[in-house]
DNA sequence: TAGTAAATGAAAATCATTTTCATTAAGGAG
DNA sequence: CTCCTTAATGAAAATGATTTTCATTTACTA
């Protein structure tokens, strides 16, 4: 049984269920996202796919990423370096739901999910309070800590 | 004594201390930021200043905003609508340090600082743990909750 | 196998932001 | 107050990421 069989096997289904086709470019883009633990930009994904499939167009990468975000398979982030960065939500090499620690200087990004004891419970509570008070249906949160990494501090 | 005397009176000093000049465009941009509780984009600020001072250039707005961010007077955010949005840190019409609740549909942004009891303390604790574990000096955090507001839900 | 709609890629367009460069103006020295 | 130096400004051009357009290709269906 191949590793990560569950999610990868699911991809084609998820597309077909929506009347969409699971094409080579789409498969390759997902493969790249599945195989990295970085937060890649559209261009970085394009370059990576390009090695295996030189015919790919940057346009297709953008279109596919929009689609994957829309389908809820990929998270899109803006870490402040002027371009969107993408991360596969169910990635075998990464923690599941996690937050980010970002170096303001070198832009290094660290995923973490070893939450402090009460962290998860508190977030649930905050979401509940916000939902009630502002009559919002909360669907998610973005939590990032900014700082300077050791290398950048010397 | 004018309202918000403290901060506004401070602006010229802060500029001069850095060998920078406190010019009319800079003053006007700060006035706009000081007088709104929205999260304005560069263009929105430009349009607002333009009414009082039609000579202003969009370039100057961008340059001034960069400077204000660099000086630590203004926060720059990307809420995912493709442009940066800015907020004066010490704004008389706003809570001090606060987090955001964002409607994914209409992009409405709600400031909140009525943190749940243990919220502030927990964040401190998380920052401490992250700093130690990853050898980062933490300088801040970005916490946003996403959801759908009542209007957008009907 | 043929037909139909989805998907693709190249090129052009768009949009926010940055750079360039000639001109203006702030504020200190005299 | 006037001169001088240098910071600040604005218009126009450049840039860079993302989107749109459109002709062509491809996937799946009948
Ligand atoms: Mn991550
Ligand atoms: Mn705010
Ligand atoms: Zn760093
Ligand atoms: Zn809304």
Domain ranges of chain A: 1-89, 91-154
* pLDDT average, residue stretch B1-10: 57
Give the residue among B92, B61, B68, B147 at the shortest CA–CA distance from A126. B147
Mean pLDDT computed over every residue of chain A: 92
pLDDT at residue B119 tops 70? yes
Cα-to-centroid distance, B111 and ligand 1 (Å): 25
Domain B1-89 architecture: Orthogonal Bundle (1.10)
Cα-to-centroid distance, B77 and ligand 2 (Å): 9
pLDDT at residue B19 tops 70? yes
- Supply the pTM of this predicted model: 0.91
Chain B residue numbers with beta carbons less than 8 Å from the beta carbon of A141 are 143-146
Q: Quick one: A30 exposed, middle or buried, by C-beta within 10 A (0-12, 13-18, 19+)?
A: buried
Cα B106 to Cα A127, B67, B81, B109, distances in angstroms: 19, 30, 10, 9
Query: How many A/B residue pairs have CB atoms within 8 Å?
Result: 110
Q: If pLDDT is split at 50, 70 and 90, which confidence band does B118 have?
A: confident
* pLDDT average, residue stretch B67-90: 95
For the CA of A109, the nearest ligand: 1
Over residues B30-51, the pLDDT tens digits come to: 999 999 999 999 999 999 999 9
Cα-to-centroid distance, A36 and ligand 4 (Å): 34
* pLDDT average, residue stretch A104-126: 89
Place of tokens 């249906």: A137
Count of residues in chain B: 154
Of B131, B140, B145, nearest to A127 by CB-CB distance is B145
Q: If pLDDT is split at 50, 70 and 90, which confidence band does A6 have?
A: low
CB B16 within 8 A of CB B22: yes
pLDDT at residue B1 tops 50? no
Task: Provide the positions of strand C that have an atom within 7 A of a protein CB.
Answer: 6-11, 15-20, 25-28
* pLDDT average, residue stretch A7-18: 86
Over residues A69-99, the pLDDT tens digits come to: 999 999 999 999 999 999 999 999 999 999 9
Instruction: Report whether CATH 1.20.140.10 matches the domain B91-154.
Output: no
Give the residue among B109, B78, B116 at the shortest CA–CA distance from B94. B109
- Mark B72-98 as b/e (b = at least 16 C-beta within 10 Å): ebbbbbbbbeeebbbbbbebeebeeee
């Amino acid at each position: 049984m191949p590793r990560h069989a569950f999610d990868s096997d699911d991809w084609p289904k998820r597309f077909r269920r929506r009347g969409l086709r699971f094409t080579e470019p789409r498969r390759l883009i997902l493969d790249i996202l599945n195989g990295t633990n970085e937060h890649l930009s559209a261009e970085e994904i394009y370059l990576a796919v390009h090695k295996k499939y030189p015919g790919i167009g940057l346009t297709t990468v953008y279109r596919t990423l929009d689609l994957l975000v829309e389908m809820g398979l990929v998270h899109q982030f803006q870490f402040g370096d002027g371009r969107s960065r993408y991360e596969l939500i169910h990635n075998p090499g990464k923690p599941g739901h996690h937050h980010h620690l970002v170096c303001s200087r070198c832009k290094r990004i660290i995923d973490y999910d070893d939450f402090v004891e009460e962290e998860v419970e508190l977030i649930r509570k905050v979401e509940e309070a916000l939902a009630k008070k502002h009559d919002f249906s909360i669907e998610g949160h973005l939590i990032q800590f900014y700082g300077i990494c050791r290398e950048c501090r010397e």
